[in-house]
A = this chain, B = another copy of it.
Amino acid sequence: MPNQSIKLLMVLFLALFGLGLKGFATVADRVYFTTDIGDDATPEVLKSILSAKKGSIREIKFQKGTYHFYPDKGYESFVFISNHDNVLTRTAFPIDRQENLTIDGQGSTFIFHGLMVPFLITDSKNISIKNLSIDWQTPFNSEALVVAQDVANKTFDIKIGTEYPYAIRNDQLIFLKEYYEHSIGQSILYDPKRKAIAFDTEDYTPLTNLSKSAITRNTQSLKYKYSQDFKSEKTHPYGTQERLIAKELEPGLVRIFNHAKKLPPIGMILVGKGDQASNRVAPAFRVLNCETFNATNVTVHHAGGMGLIAENSSDLTLDAFNVRPSGNRMVSTTADATHFVGCRGKISIRNCVFNNQLDDASNIHGTYEEVVEQLDPYTLGVRIGHFQQQNFVLGKPGDSIGLIRLNESFDAYAKNTVESVQKINGRYHIIKFKDKLDTRIQPGDLLENLDAYPEVLVQNCTISNNRARGLLLSTPKKTVVEGNFFSTEMEAILIPVESGSWFESGSGANISITNNTFKDCQHSGFNRGVIRLVTDDESEHIAFRNIDIHGNTFEQFDNLILEVSNTENLRFEKNKITNSGTFPQKFPENPAVVVKTSKEVLFKDNTYTGKATQILSSDDPSIQAPLFN
């Protein structure tokens, strides 16, 4: 049916039925919601979606306007979401086992209230979301202005506006929301003049609210048969107590005692989101087990977690998918703007703005799972290592799985093919393989899905004013990063291999970083490069291959541009490096480039007008930067 006829039909329908008596109309396989839907759009939207059989709705369209979504009549499910907390959540858009569905906001704004996941998209194919903005009435984070400091007594005072209700309980400052509350844990500084993370904030923050319990007794009698993850709060045998003490001086004015770092500068805005392991509860988009997902002209102003988290999905395109705060708020999303785990096919991120989020712009990786035991010649019991990866499914039948022993090599010592994955619990799965298992397998070895890595394109994006990194890239497939602007608090581009903490798998290979501008990145205070390839092991094995960095501009306030380790075949060519003078240098003794445990590293035709007195520091004298001008 051509588009014109549909529009005509819809106009006719709406004319006949008085522009949506109950706020919606259905014509064949299309649903149209108008702003008459009521104060709470959740029940009507949910009713349409829950009553739709697979593939029966092709389009859900909204009249341009503002729609409020409350959780009270939202569809509830308990969800394990990677890199988030496991949460009992509600949604108005449970897009489950749907195909060929487009949701078009036509420029509408969707305002969410409380603990909701706006879009929960699972086991679906060819889903498109377009032309809408997502915001929350009340954000999951809070702001306060630093108004005084007392160096002698090591205290500082914050002014809390009336829009941020709070309580003081047992000397603890708690920010109150309608359906949520949080402590001042994980607080960081924003600079209101730049509306960005404050320069050097790592010297002052995060506020560290947790210290060990003052007293513990007889904990030696706490016994565990199996290894535990004591990062997960419930099972910590010693536990933590709050170290920061809050005293209200007058309504809205609170003094903070016992801060361990430098006192935050007056005039900065302290942004808190509460303690880790409880503050990632409401991402804007959750995409799981989907094929072909497109988000176009979508703005996420806020989320209590990530803007988009995609897991075990293929072919995802974000075009003008923007993450930036609304109004005068300092913060957009309280975690990464976007994050992709175990995805395949191609991830395209084009023409996006990722501003002011409290974590990376994009993190693309797989997941290591740990061998617990061999149950029979074909079957392994495996442990999911990180508490925020619980119930992540390593692969689907037919996927090629690599067996890794990281202290020997970053590459697989053997491969096998998935027959089935049985989820026993969030931490423990049973994986059956098609072939007999390699006899070298030992408990503690890691499994990596070699098929679940995507090609990546990040093009024409603006990544700035956020905490943490720009891009974390952990895929061996072809990756192109071109024409972007970066101004990030930590690395603009981090290419890591790590296993012990986050269990995020995937080495980097075949990466092209071209024609980007890097301005004043790594201004948080860490002594790290703007582009950094690094492993968390002390090994000298090769982890990264075929990296091409050319035609970029680095306008940095400090020296260190590039850190390379465990890399084979890196070209750094035709890049232009200047000193911006924006901030004072933190590490004037640094060179521009550090190379370690790498080979075939080539520098060519770069221009340098920075302040470093040493261009290159390398542990291999054959590596030189002769054409650095």
Q: Show the binding face of A for B, using Cβ within 8 Å.
A: 39-40, 43, 46, 50, 70-76, 78, 86, 88, 90, 113, 160, 162-172, 174, 176-181, 213-219, 221-226, 234-235, 237-242, 248, 251-252, 381, 422-428
Contacts and interface: CB of A to CB of B under 8 A. Distances in A.
Nearest to A211: B169
Given A216-B176, A242-B170, A248-B215, A165 B221 contact: yes
Nearest to A252: B217
27 contacts: A72-B427, A72-B428, A73-B424, A73-B425, A75-B424, A76-B423, A86-B88, A162-B221, A164-B218, A165-B222, A165-B237, A166-B217, A166-B218, A167-B216, A167-B217, A169-B213, A169-B214, A169-B241, A169-B242, A170-B172, A170-B242, A174-B239, A176-B216, A176-B222, A176-B239, A215-B248, A218-B252
A305 to B, nearest CB: 16
Given A74-B425, A428-B73, A163 B39 contact: no
B217 A251 contact: yes
Given A74-B424, A170-B214, 10 more contacts: A72-B427, A73-B381, A86-B88, A163-B221, A167-B216, A170-B241, A176-B216, A178-B223, A181-B234, A217-B248
Contacts of A76: 423-426
A621 to B, nearest CB: 51
A181 B43 CA distance: 39
A278 to B, nearest CB: 11
Identify the 7 closest CB pairs spanning chains A and B, nearest first.
A76-B425, A169-B241, A78-B78, A167-B213, A165-B218, A168-B215, A72-B226
Contacts of A177: 222
A176 B224 CA distance: 13
A427 B42 CA distance: 15
Contacts of A422: 50
Contacts of A235: 178-179
A240 B113 contact: no
B167 A238 contact: yes
